[in-house]
Structure formats: C-alpha cells, structure tokens
Structure 1
Amino acid sequence: MRITNFALLILMSGLSGPVLAETTADQIRKSTVAFLESFASEQAAEGYNVSFKPGSIDSRLALAECAQPLNVEFSGDPWKSTSPSIQVACEGARPWRMFVTASVSIRGPALVAARPLTRGERITSDLLSQQSVEVNASRRGVMTATDQAIGMQVRRAVNAGSLITPDMLSAPNAVERGDHVIITAKTGGFSVRSRGKALASASIGEQVLVENLRSSRTIKASVVAPGQVEIPM
C-alpha cells in the first residue's frame, strides 16, 4: 500500500502533537518595563523622580503561554534597595513565575541636619532642611516630612548635612523616673484615678513600673501621655 507524501505529512504531524504557544523573553521584558513605567508615573505625582533599567533576560527563555496579562510586582522593597527584585507571574491554566532584576533610582526630597546635632538634643524645625537625595540608596530608610521628626530626640551625634534616618531618633520620655503620675484604671466605660510615682523612665506606648502612693503597691502600667499611665482592670 502506497502512502503519498501529503498523507505521510499529516500522519507525522498527528504523532508529534500540537505546537504549543510560548511566552517569550521579549514579552516578559515588555511587561516589566510597562510595570516600571507605571511605578515611575505614580511616584512622579508624589514629587519623586524614578529612573530605571531592567536587567537582561535570556533571549532563549520560553515559558508556557499565558492566556491573561502577566502579573508583575516588586518582590523586594524598591524604597530600600536600588536593585529590587521583580516577580513576573502567569496565573492562568499553566501557571508559572520568574524573577527579573532591575536597577531603580528614586530621587526626591528628604530631611538632612541643618547643623551638627548632639546626642539627646530635641528636634525643632530650624534643625532640619530638605535636599534632593537618592531615597532608596539608604537601607535604613529616610524621613521626608518635618512632622515625622519634630519633638523627637537625637540618639547619637549627627554631622551637618547628614541624611536623617529613623534609627537616629527616638521618642522622648513622657515619664521620668521619680515623676508623680496619674494612674488610670479602666474597664469598659468606667475608670478610677489615683496618684503614683514612676520607678523608671519611659516614652508613650512603653510600659513602666509605678508605685501607687495610696496603696504602696507596685504595678505595671502603659504610658499614654506625659505624666499619665493606664492599667486594665
């Protein structure tokens, strides 16, 4: 029995199965660039200038076809790294994900010391100025608004012109050791007040040991305001 070339071609095609569509390296690169462009546009509206360069992707890469737009997101914090990782994923019937590197620079205003700052000094507006810096070059973060720093206390000496980072400042003590304080005991809408003496120093939100001056009992309370502590009943 003779088989024509055409019939043989059909037979061989059926044996080899259908040719599957693929997601190419170029498609992944374009999706990554579109994501970074969108991020840059969003930050521009907030006063930040973002420049970026996506990392190289092997041109031979071919992944399963994605029936829907690729999902692209940062897998690392772009505000704390100039080389954040980006995840590209397909959530379709044949899901996959991969990671792409990129160089990202975010420039914008940040707080710097207007003059040398000494340890323990309380921050006021005249001690701060703003400069345009590469915000994400500091792994320790930056402070961008003066109200984030005013009233805080300098933890260590800071040189003039140095970038102000959150770890340089701490909340001042709202209660000092030996201070007389108001103790409020609360339960539901009912509260009882008494006078006490702080046995240690603490800032708002911290716990401190307090001696109740009426009962002479020592209790642990939370500092809620300067000179005021609170305990649950």
Structure 2
Amino acid sequence: MIHRLLAAAVALLACPLPAAATQPLDAVRALAVDWLQANRNLPGARMTAEAGPLDSRLRLADCAAPLQASLPGNRPLGARASVVVRCPVPGGWTVRVPVKVQMFANVLVTSRPLARGDGPGAADVHSEERDVASLAYGYIASLDQIGGRALARPLNAGTVLTPGMLAGRQAVRIGDAVSMEATVDGVTIRAEGVAMGAGDAGARLKVRNASSGKVLDAVVSGPGVVAVLP
C-alpha cells in the first residue's frame, strides 16, 4: 500500500503544472500606440508612433479586465513618450512603454535671409511640412500668429520660425514709410519719412525726411506715425 502511494506521488510530481496565462507584450505595445494616436494627436497633423521593445524577460499576468493607458503629467507630446499601461484589477500590474513619435504639420520657414528687426511677411516665408514633435522650441503655423511682431535676431534661409525668435509687437519697423508729425505754435505739420529704427508706441527712433533726406529724432505715436522731437 505504501509503495502504491509513493508511486502515485512520484507520478504526480512528474506531471508539469499548467503554465499561468501571460499578457502578450505585443498587445501591450500596440495599446500604447493606439491610445496615443486616439488621444494625443494634434488637429490637422499627421501622426506616426512606434512602440519600443519591452524586456523579453517580462512576464505579465493575463489581465481579466480591459487594459488602460495614460500619459502622466499632461505634458506636451514630444518626440519620445512614455505611455503607462496598466491592468486595472486588484493586484494588477503597471508597465511603461517607450514610444517614438513623429507629428507632421505645416510650419512657416524663412525663404531668404532676414535681419533683426524685420517683420516677416508673405514674401519672406513659406509653408513646409515638418515633424513638429521634434521642434522643442515650438513653431509658427501662419502669419496671423505673428501679428506685426519683428525678428529679435537675424535668421538664415530655411529656418523654422519659432515664437522665441520674435520680439515685441512693433507699430513701426525699419524701412517703413511713416507719417512724421511736428507741432509748432499749436499747428501740426506733417511730412512723409522713412523709419530708420523699429519699435512700439513710445519707442524713440530716427527717421529720414523723404523729401530733404534730413535725419530727425522721433517717438512712435502709433502704427506708421511718429512725432518729431524738437
């Protein structure tokens, strides 16, 4: 009898236990990509996302509930993201999936070299599709976003315009035709001139009288208008 029990125990130990079901890692990676494309896409942009590899030694228990994904911190989406995928059951697991992101949208690019103080116009820039996820300093999509501002530094041709490249708004820019006003004994005299500087209202600059060529000191009064100083 004892021999029969021992034989049965040996036979039982010899039979391998069924392996616990595991969550396919490819399914976890695919969920991270699908969630990003559905939730963090930029309107009007074309997005591609590729999940990086997970450790092949990783063993995740098969989840009894639908997996959930998120991007912690609500940070702007960059060229690399770390998507959190979790099994939302008691004692469930959490894993971070690295994802490489490309997001293509039209941005403004300089068509020719531009000088500091220039106010970019339609003849100075053109639209190109670029990977905006890799543009860490942002970008400008249309001339409407510039709103009369000028460049804070010179730019080479082919440069993507970013908000940091623009100085404050300028009512008068270098080379603008301006109306020069001077008040003498209560009488306002007006003449045409050319701005030799740039600035918003209150800024002091020099202007050249278009008729005489004389250079005068003036203060910007408003868009295209300067007050000549005595």
- Alignment TM-score, normalising by the size of structure 2: 0.58
Cα distance per residue 1:98-157 (max 9 Å; x no partner): 211122221220111233222122343443321111212221111223211231221111
- Provide the residue aligned with 1:29 in structure 2: 29
- Preserved contact between residue 66 and residue 94 of structure 1 (Cα < 8 Å): no
- Preserved contact between residue 83 and residue 98 of structure 2 (Cα < 8 Å): yes
Which of 94, 97, 102 aligns to 1:97? It is: 94
Measure the CA separation in 2 of the matches of 1:104 and 1:5. 61
- Provide the residue aligned with 1:124 in structure 2: 121
The residue type equivalent to 1:74 in the other structure is: L
Cα distance per residue 1:42-82 (max 9 Å; x no partner): 55xx332222321111233123443332222335856432x
SS of 2:117 mapped into structure 1:
coil
- Preserved contact between residue 24 and residue 61 of structure 1 (Cα < 8 Å): no
Describe how 1:81-230 pairs up with structure 2 within 5 A: 81=79, 83-172=80-169
- Provide the residue aligned with 2:56 in structure 1: 59
Cα distance per residue 1:169-218 (max 9 Å; x no partner): 133268xxxxxxxxxxxxxxxxxxxxxxxxxxx98xxxxxxxxxxxxxxx
Is 1:71 aligned to residue 68 of structure 2? yes
Measure the CA separation in 1 of the matches of 2:39 and 2:5. 59
- Preserved contact between residue 33 and residue 54 of structure 1 (Cα < 8 Å): yes
Which of 78, 81, 96 aligns to 1:80? It is: 78
Measure the CA separation in 2 of the matches of 1:25 and 1:128. 46
Measure the CA separation in 1 of the matches of 2:23 and 2:94. 11
Q: How many residues align?
A: 170
The residue type equivalent to 1:31 in the other structure is: L
SS of 1:100 mapped into structure 2:
strand
- Alignment TM-score, normalising by the size of structure 1: 0.57
Moved more, 67-76 or 130-139: 67-76
Larger Rg: 2
Measure the CA separation in 1 of the matches of 2:92 and 2:168. 47
The residue type equivalent to 2:89 in the other structure is: G
Change in 2 beyond 3 A, CA 1:105/1:78: farther
- Provide the residue aligned with 1:178 in structure 2: none
Structure 2: 5+ residue runs without aligned partners? 172-198, 201-221, 223-230
Shift of 1:6: 11
The residue type equivalent to 1:138 in the other structure is: L
The residue type equivalent to 1:53 in the other structure is: E
